[in-house]
Amino acid sequence: MSSLSLPTLLPFLPSLHSSSSHSFQSHNHQNQTTISKNKWRCSATEEPHRPNQISTKKTNKKKSPSTEPPKVVVDPVGFLTKHSITHKAFAQFLRERHKAMKDREDEILNRFHNLMEFASGYELMGLHRNVHHRVDYMEWAPGARYCALVGDFNGWSPTENSARDGHFGHDDYGYWFIILEDKLREGEEPDELYFQAYNCNEDYDKGDSGVTIEELFKKMNDEYWEPGEDRYIKSRYSVPAKLYEQMFGPNGPQSFDELEDLPDAETRYKAWKEKHKDDPPSNLPSTHVIDSGKEYDIYNVITGPEWREKFQAKSPPLAYWLEMRKGRKAWLKKYEPGIPHGSKYRVYFNTPGGPLERVPAWATYVLPVSLFCLDVDGNQSVAVHWEPSPEDAHKWKNMRPKVPKSLRIYECHIGISGTDPKISTFDEFRLKVLPHVKKAGYNVIQLIGVIEHKDYFTIGYRVTNLFAVSSRFGTPDDFKRLVDEAHGLGLLVFLDIVHSYSAADEMVGLSLFDGSNDCYFHTGKRGHHKYWGTRMYKYGDIDVLHYLYSNLKWWVEEYQIDGFQFHSLSSMMYTHNGFASFTGDLEEYCNQYVDKDALIYLAMANEMLHELHPNIITIAEDATLYPGLCEPIYEGGLGFDYYVNLSTSEMWSSLLENVPDKEWSMNKIVATLTGNKQIADKMLTYAENHNQSISGGRSLAEILFGEIRENSPSSDEILIRGYSLYKMIKLITFTIGGKAYLNFIGNEFGHPKRVEFPMASNKFSFCLANRRWDLLMDEVHSGLFSFDKDMMMLDENEKILSRRLPNIHHVNDSNMVISYMRGPLLFIFNFHPTNTYEKYSVGTEEAGEYQIILNTDEVKYAGQGHMKNEHYLQRTVMKRVDGLQNSLEVMLPSRSAQVYKLTRIFRL
């Protein structure tokens, strides 16, 4: 084979679901054939003629507006026009980026049929069971001279299972191909047909009818072939089988020199005619192959109408071929797998720099060498062939839940999710944490650190094997059970995906994978992150994109993942890795430090994912807030569904640690929480995520009351302040922002300790690498959990996050009071550390009765209970406040917040 990419055999059909003119399905190609819709119709849509149905040309031409697809005009600077932004340099950059993306699409279409095929590399790459009693292995290593698979299945021999020489073993793009034949059991004979298929990956006992090949051919001759056609049976089956075995069988040619030249078509045709000149007469019409002699000409078969009618009426004997397949029992009886399930293996390369052994890039299960995973051969990381039998493999039971209008995300790390000082597993998380997440009122779990990484203390962000779940948590099937049960509970499952950089490890990661420094990554300084010691991908290389896009599609298809948060986009979008000061000038987003290839990768990734699964959710984590993150691709955006407002958590930590309570600015709080109003509905907010709990910082609970509760339980005033601010911070962050909110595991009940992974600095201790679930039995922490749960139920019942953005009508820095309306709900916050207001006036949009449905100061929420029953129901008065005609006079205890609901409207 000269290339692993299949040639385009069928013309591209226009996609009915594409909203962009640069869709890969509808992209113009030099070899594209236009097919008229009038000539091709689906037979299932044809209806019989109805005599009573009136039909005219006029009514036929008229279409319902609802059935006509919206016409989308591609404008590379569309979102700038929409938001009235004028900046010539940035507009020119967007146009150039759009043209570069079209060129990238053309480059891909030269080797692949469409983007979906381009993103399906996992179907060929790595180890795959072939129905012809063998396992196929493919790997991309353009810098290697020799490739072999070594493992415990062949005694780690670098010569037993290797790729053939030349194009029988690798193509022009550096893709290596190795066949691992299954081994005949003692006393068994080889199959008569070299390409005998075995249904060994499907149902255990299906596919083997027990009919021999001779009986099946006789049955086909009696039932299918017409008289006179039986003489073609041997030429139809035996000859192709022998030819296939001669070319690709174990005794086939190893190089082009050993492959004999095939005569031209005319010579072969004349030889065939001479050989069959004495054949008995047949009742079938004769045919002749005519070759005009032109190189590009397709051989014309001259036939009569009788032959053409017979041929068109004939259907292929597919049923007989399916009956020829043998089942798994027959395969197990006759063969031993060439590489059994659970075998440990690596790929062996001979390179200009010498021999190398690497963990395959497309491995789906890896055992890395680390302090907590030493069960590997030769003290080197190894891949594990994961091919459980059909009866042991996980079978999906639950459908994907419907995507909610608002996202309440519960961010988790599997390893720290248990109480015991050890690494927790997928099964433990599934049994213990998933029910808690459902009870707490969240509708999404977002998992970090799930993808394989060598060092546990890196949290999982220095990924080494993008296609493998971390073996320290369990097996691939364990993870599938976790996702399946989460779906059964109505929870979506997101992954924190790291395509912005890669681990620099060589023995288990991709660095110097094939001995060259530019296989997956840039060379020189460009290929290394300035501060993190990680490697940077070449986003302009087709084969690297093939790897990354296939990885995204792999998690969606193989593990039913519902969404991705793209981690640290600023690391990949700029050559300075985002470590520069940004003033907000658009020039900073289109200068020489911007990586155009990375931006094109992100736009095409979003296009592919949303075409693959229309309900997929993609979230951008970008500290620089690149313009157009959540704008449509056809308007010049990058196509994300949400972006993360990183400023909110930084603001809360800074205020609590550096600014006295009386000096807090309400205007600054509101401005930070609301972000950019033009895209505020696409914002994901959080008071704290894993950064505060894991990445060297302190969680809000630890800052406010964690150490005090442990060491100074008598400091009631400090504890009251901590509990009060903790609830207020979470409530205002949850309700004032966009349609998505995130909470890190344990913070819903005020976990008092940060997370610290075992490392040399703490003598590899697990004492802080867990969650204190026992605190839920504590009165205070139970109260904080009850508040967080009721806050989630507030959105479930009142649809807060999915409503339009709030009308913030009262922000008073002197009184430290914030008030805003969101739908029928009125939110009032009093951040003043000492002042309690008995009758504080705030404006309302509607006149009527307002009732408190959530109060942070209630005793059941670890509050002080200052408000009495008579304060819970208030009526508006006709007094103009905050620019509104009506107002409420409410009681506001210090450091408390209330949520009022309009229960009755007064009509004038």
Q: Which residues are catalytic?
A: 621
Q: Locate all alpha helices (DSSP H) within 110-138, ordered by sequence.
A: 115-118
517 contacts 523 by C-beta, under 8 angstroms: yes
Cα-Cα-Cα-Cα dihedral of 687, 530, 768, 688, to 10°? 0
Q: Locate all alpha helices (DSSP H) within 489-523, ordered by sequence.
A: none
Separation CA 470–CA 478 (nearest Å): 11
Tokens of 472: 């320290």
Separation CA 698–CA 759 (nearest Å): 18
DSSP 642-685: EEE-THHHHHHHHHHHHS-GGG--HHHHHHHHH--GGGGGGEEE
Which residues, in sequence order, are bridge partners of residue 667? none
| 29: region left, alpha or beta (phi > 0 left; psi from -120 to 50 alpha) | beta
Give the Cα-Cα-Cα angle 822, 823, 826 (nearest 5 degrees): 55
Please report where in the chains the tokens 């009125």 appear, as a residue.
826
| Residue 710 DSSP SS3 | helix
Q: How far is CA 693 from the centre of its chain?
A: 25
Separation CA 723–CA 704 (nearest Å): 8
Could you give the C-alpha distances from 2 to 62, 111, 167, 250, 347, in angstroms and in order?
51, 12, 6, 20, 22
DSSP 2-37: --SSPP--SPPPPPSS--STT-TTT---TT-----T
607 contacts 633 by C-beta, under 8 angstroms: yes
Biggest alpha carbon–alpha carbon distance for the chain: 114
| DSSP element (H, E) containing 440 | helix 434-440
Separation CA 221–CA 294 (nearest Å): 38
Could you give the C-alpha distances from 361 to 147, 313, 383, 609, 767, in angstroms and in order?
14, 48, 10, 22, 34
